[in-house]
Each structure stands twice: as structure tokens, then as C-alpha cells.
Structure 1
Amino acid sequence: MVRNVRAAGAVLWRFRGAGDTPGASAVEVAIVHRPRYDDWSLPKGKLERGETRHAAAVREVAEETGFAAVLGRHLGRVGYPVPEGDKTVDYYAARAAGGEFAPNEEVDELRWLPAAAAADLLSYPHDRVVLSRFTEFPPDTVTVLLVRHGHAGRKKLWTGPDDQRPLSPTGRHQADALTALLPLFGADRVFSVPKERCVATVAPLAGLLGVPVVPEPALAEAPRPPDSPRGPTDPAPAVARLRDIARAGGTPVVCSQGGVIPGVVGALLADLPGGSGVEPDELKSPKGSAWVLSFTPDGRLVSADHIPHPAQADRA
């Protein structure tokens, strides 16, 4: 039986000579030399048991380069054969957030180079493809983490006001998983539809970050008469509000609902040239799932990555 080896890595970047200052004259990326293979590659490594691809990317960058990484847009998945079987690697853009390189068992040299010079030195075509994807857009995109609230039991069994329907034990588990995942992207602000199940999904994250949960009614489902079928909500107001949130910068988390998220993401995907590559089923956005939406500073979407269920999916 062929074994599927899961791995994750990153294009680690920084502004040359200017730390994290936007508008610096040039961007550098980190490539590493591995003496075991005598090659130059992007930092990456295998997922540990029970680890998500996102956590693995941050851990591997730290282990190989000595730098903390803040994840940004997903740069795609590459696959190639290895002695153990077939290897698939998920890559992310990742901003260097401080650190210092020291030679270690896996890596004996790190170089910070402009992307063109790094591409010339890289040993493998798939690394050059990933680096090319990174250079398609400026590195300092704004990440908006659009979350669907966690599981809140069966609506028909809840006798109180719908706005007060709480998370179920499954929903609380999903909230915990999101609290572990979203800081990897540098989450720094938290917005939520003002419903108990939505607020409760992101409240643990807000507590961890020491920020309030800001009410965001523009991302709520439109009211409808009792027992009426749920129809699609006009996405335009929510799309406009999400773009405004993106333009404000930082890394905001926004918790919304299943009647809103598919329409919003579907409308935003029209920004992407040449098709989005997003499957229709992904737009359904199961409870507890998240979209990593990357915007230019003026609010144009450049990347969309769906995380189906951080409590279960994409783990080794």
C-alpha cells in the first residue's frame, strides 16, 4: 500500500532591512540548505501525529530557521514521490515575526534573498512554482478569517429565542479548535453576529487575545417568518462590510452564519482572475469551519482557502 506522507511549509518573508515596516524597498525570502541532501529548499517538514497542516508549517519554520512565522495566504499543495510513498506539501506565505537562525541538525545555512535570486538557488522545480505563486501579489495582504459558528444543537428542540440558542458540546469543541488555529494567522480583532452561538464560538479566542467581541449585525442572516424556508440572503451589504473590515488592516476574525457565508464568499471569488478553484460544496461552509480570505489593502480578494473543520480535518 502506498503511504501518503503529509507535510507543510512556507515562503518565509520579511522587508529587507526594515523589520515589518510596510513600504520597505524590497522583500526577502528565506531558503535553507540541508546538508543531508545537499540541497536548497523552502522550509518545510512532516506533520506530527494529530497536528494540523497550519500548526506544522509554523513549527517547521521555527525549527529550521529559528524564526516565528505568521501565516498568510495559502500558496497551494504540491505532490511528489518519496521513498516512503507519495508526499504532499501545503505551503503558505508567512511573515517573519522575529527570531534568529542557528545551525541545527537539519539545516546548516539560511539565506535571505530577493525572490528572483532565491528561485535561481532553489534545487527543486516545485519550490520554484510555489515561490512564483508568492510573487504574484504583494506579500503584505490583509487576512480576514471568516468563521461559521459552531454546532448549536437542533433548532427544533430549542424552546427559547433563537438568538439565545447556545453551543452544544460539539460546538464548544469546535470553538476550542478555532482558538488554537486562528492565532497562527496573527488574529488581532474579533467581530461576531450578535447571537449567542456566534459570540460563544469566538469568545474564547477574544479572551486569549485580550480583545472584545465587536457586534457585527451586517453579517447576520436576514429575519424571516417562523417555519418559513431559509432562502439566500442578499450578500451585497455583508460583502461591502467585509471589505471595509479588510481595509482597516490587521487580521480580523468575523463569525457569521450559514445563510450568509456562501453568498459572501461566492461574491468575493469574482475578484479572482482565471477562476477560484473553489468547489461548490466548500461554499456551504459547515459549522465550525473557517475561510482564510486574503485581501489587498484596497479590499480586493486575492486568495481564498477553506478550512473545513479544524477540530478534525487536515491532521496527520
Structure 2
Amino acid sequence: MAKKTNEVWAAGGVVWRPGVSGSAETDGVEIAVVHRPKYDDWTLPKGKAEPGETLIDTAVREIAEETGQHVVLGRHLDDVHYDLGGARKHVRYWSARAIDGAFVAGSEVDDLHWLSVDRAREALSYPLDRTILEEFVRLPADLHTFLLVRHAKAGRRSTYKGDDRLRPLDKLGRAQAAALVPLLLAFGAGRIHSADRVRCEQTLEPLRDRLGVELHAEPDLSEETYRTNPAAAQHRILRLAADTTSTLAVCSQGKVIPPLMEWWADRDSISLPKASNRKGSVWVLSLYDGRLVAADHIAGPLPAT
């Protein structure tokens, strides 16, 4: 009987920055490509997940360790899969805009080059990395991110005594709300809005406290309003997404988000990935010139067990 293959997950990104004006190396953006002396190869920054991490945590940490760059993640590019030393390895990649930082050579990565897309394509040692780069350039790099969150777990409606609008998060829901903070910050969340339900507001309260910003109520994004007037929610979500001053995280409910996303995707002619719509799940939405061009779904904020 063949030995069962181990599963190993890793994460990384196409780390990019706006091209330097006047440089021959720029066609709009520059890509970070790293050299690993152990393998004498040039790759996209990536690394294995550590226990207790989500893959989003892994991507941010590994990019920082290998490039010295603090990044804001954007759209999910793709997952690649290959066999390595008796294990089946899976690597998830995001677009990752470099915000600040400086490269320091080390034993794992001893050099970093910022290259144009064409030169990065030539420099990369592996076809799978070039495939990820091609997915990156399929859409503009500088997309606007909008985060749509389903509220965290709040017990059962049927067993709650009192006004359901006031139903609070339960113990698991509070853990999910805390775990949403690094997840949403990884995608650059800077402002927060919420349907006017306690469980929605509590889902984003830890992020509100971390950012030190106001939480704005959105009555049109509650289930009760959506049931009678879905057009109001549709109009409001487009107004919120049109504000590109910073990344907005919006929390709503389970009977609002799926039909709203279906309407939005149909309006802007994109396909949606399969989505569980679990409590605490997040849609990472990418927009260009006010239109939805990509939608990624994160099933929950807690590490997989």
C-alpha cells in the first residue's frame, strides 16, 4: 500500500509597488522577486503556515520575513499544487501592495530585485510562479477593496427571549469577532459600517476599538429592510463601495449577503466562487472604476483545525 501523502499549506503573494517614474524598469508597477541561496532560484515570496495561523496570517508574515515589506493584501490570485519530498504542497497567493519597509538579506533570502512585469517573468525560475504573475496582470494592480462581513455567531434566534434586534454574540461569536481584526486589517480596513443589529455591531466592535474610529449604522442592510425593499440595500452598497478614500468593512446578515452578492455579480458580469455564507465569513471584493471585477470568499476568521 502506498504511503499517504502529507498535506502542506503555504501562502505568499505578488508583492508590487507603483513603478518609479522615468525608470526603464517600469511598465506601471514593479514586482518583488527574491533569491533563495539554498536552491539558487528566483521566486515569489512565500512560506509554510505555522500552527495556529490562517493562510492570510501566513502570507503577511512570510512576505515581511522574506522582503522586509509591510503589505496590504488585495484579491486572491490562485492556489498552486505540487509534490515535494513525499508531501503534497499547496500555496495560496494574493496580490500584495508594498506600503513600507526595507529588505535585509538573510540565510533563507539573500537578495531581492524590484522588476518590471516583463523582467520578473523572465527572472522567475518556475512556471507555476509565472502562472501566478499572469493572473496578477489580468486585472489592474491598484484595485479598490471592499469588505463585506457576515456577523459572527450569536446563538439561535428561536431560543433568544426578547427583541431579536438586540441579540448579542455568544462565546464563539466573540472569538470570531476578535479574530476578524487581523484578517480585516490585512486587507487594509480603515472604516466600519454595520447593519443596525447588535450582533452585527458587536462583530466589528473589536476592529472599531483597534482603529479608534466610529461605527456607522446602516439600516438598509438589515434583513427586515432587505425583505421589503432590496433595492434600498442595492443602492446603499453601491454608494458605500464608490467611496475609495479608504477600505471599508461592512457587516450585514445571512439573508442579505447572498442575494445581494448575486445581484451585484450579475450587474457587473462576474462569476462568484462557491461560498458557505457561514457566520463570521468575509467577502473580499475588488472594484475598478466603480465596477466589481473580482470577488473572493473567506469562510471564517479562525484557523482551520
* TM-score, normalization by structure 1: 0.89
Look up the match of 2:17: 14
Q: Compute the displacement of 1:277 (Å).
A: 5.4
What amino acid is aligned across from residue 166 of structure 1 in structure 2? P
Partner of 1:61, secondary structure, is helix
Go from structure 1 to structure 2 and tell me whether the alpha carbon gap of 1:138 and 1:245 turns closer, same or farther (over 3 Å shift): same
* Cα distance in 2, alignment partners of residues 176 and 163 from structure 1: 21
Q: Between Structure 1 and Structure 2, how many residues are aligned?
A: 297
User: How do 1:181-260 and structure 2 match up within 5 A?
Assistant: 181-223=183-225, 235-249=230-244, 250-260=246-256
* Cα distance in 2, alignment partners of residues 93 and 81 from structure 1: 24
* Cα distance in 2, alignment partners of residues 141 and 233 from structure 1: 33
Go from structure 1 to structure 2 and tell me whether the alpha carbon gap of 1:195 and 1:277 turns closer, same or farther (over 3 Å shift): closer
Q: Compute the displacement of 1:307 (Å).
A: 0.9
Alignment partner of 1:266 is 2:269: no
* Cα distance in 1, alignment partners of residues 232 and 208 from structure 2: 25
* Runs of 4+ with >4 A deviation: 232-235
Look up the match of 2:295: 304
Go from structure 1 to structure 2 and tell me whether the alpha carbon gap of 1:304 and 1:233 turns closer, same or farther (over 3 Å shift): farther
* Cα distance in 2, alignment partners of residues 83 and 140 from structure 1: 37
Partner of 2:193, secondary structure, is strand
Q: Compute the displacement of 1:235 (Å).
A: 4.4
Q: Compute the displacement of 1:223 (Å).
A: 5.0
* Cα distance in 1, alignment partners of residues 62 and 303 from structure 2: 21
Which sits farther off after the overlay, 173-182 or 240-249?
Answer: 240-249
Q: Quick check: 2:53–2:303 contact (8 Å CA) kept in 1? A: no
Look up the match of 1:102: 104
* Cα distance in 1, alignment partners of residues 267 and 142 from structure 2: 18
Alignment partner of 1:32 is 2:34: yes
Q: Quick check: 2:27–2:117 contact (8 Å CA) kept in 1? A: no
Q: 1:288 aligns with which of 280, 284, 296?
A: 280
Q: Compute the displacement of 1:179 (Å).
A: 1.5
* Cα distance in 2, alignment partners of residues 203 and 31 from structure 1: 38
* Cα distance in 1, alignment partners of residues 175 and 37 from structure 2: 42
**Identity in percent:** 48
Go from structure 1 to structure 2 and tell me whether the alpha carbon gap of 1:130 and 1:239 turns closer, same or farther (over 3 Å shift): farther
User: How do 1:54-203 and structure 2 match up within 5 A?
Assistant: 54-203=56-205
Go from structure 1 to structure 2 and tell me whether the alpha carbon gap of 1:233 and 1:292 turns closer, same or farther (over 3 Å shift): farther
Go from structure 1 to structure 2 and tell me whether the alpha carbon gap of 1:312 and 1:233 turns closer, same or farther (over 3 Å shift): farther
What amino acid is aligned across from residue 118 of structure 1 in structure 2? A
Which sits farther off after the overlay, 152-161 or 254-263?
Answer: 152-161
Q: Compute the displacement of 1:233 (Å).
A: 6.8
Which sits farther off after the overlay, 212-221 or 194-203?
Answer: 212-221
What amino acid is aligned across from residue 262 of structure 1 in structure 2? P
Partner of 1:268, secondary structure, is helix
Q: Quick check: 1:192–1:213 contact (8 Å CA) kept in 2? A: yes
* TM-score, normalization by structure 2: 0.92
Go from structure 1 to structure 2 and tell me whether the alpha carbon gap of 1:271 and 1:31 turns closer, same or farther (over 3 Å shift): farther
Q: Compute the displacement of 1:177 (Å).
A: 1.1
Go from structure 1 to structure 2 and tell me whether the alpha carbon gap of 1:114 and 1:264 turns closer, same or farther (over 3 Å shift): same
Gaps of 5+ in 2: none
What amino acid is aligned across from residue 135 of structure 1 in structure 2? V
Q: Compute the displacement of 1:50 (Å).
A: 1.3
Gaps of 5+ in 1: 19-23, 225-231
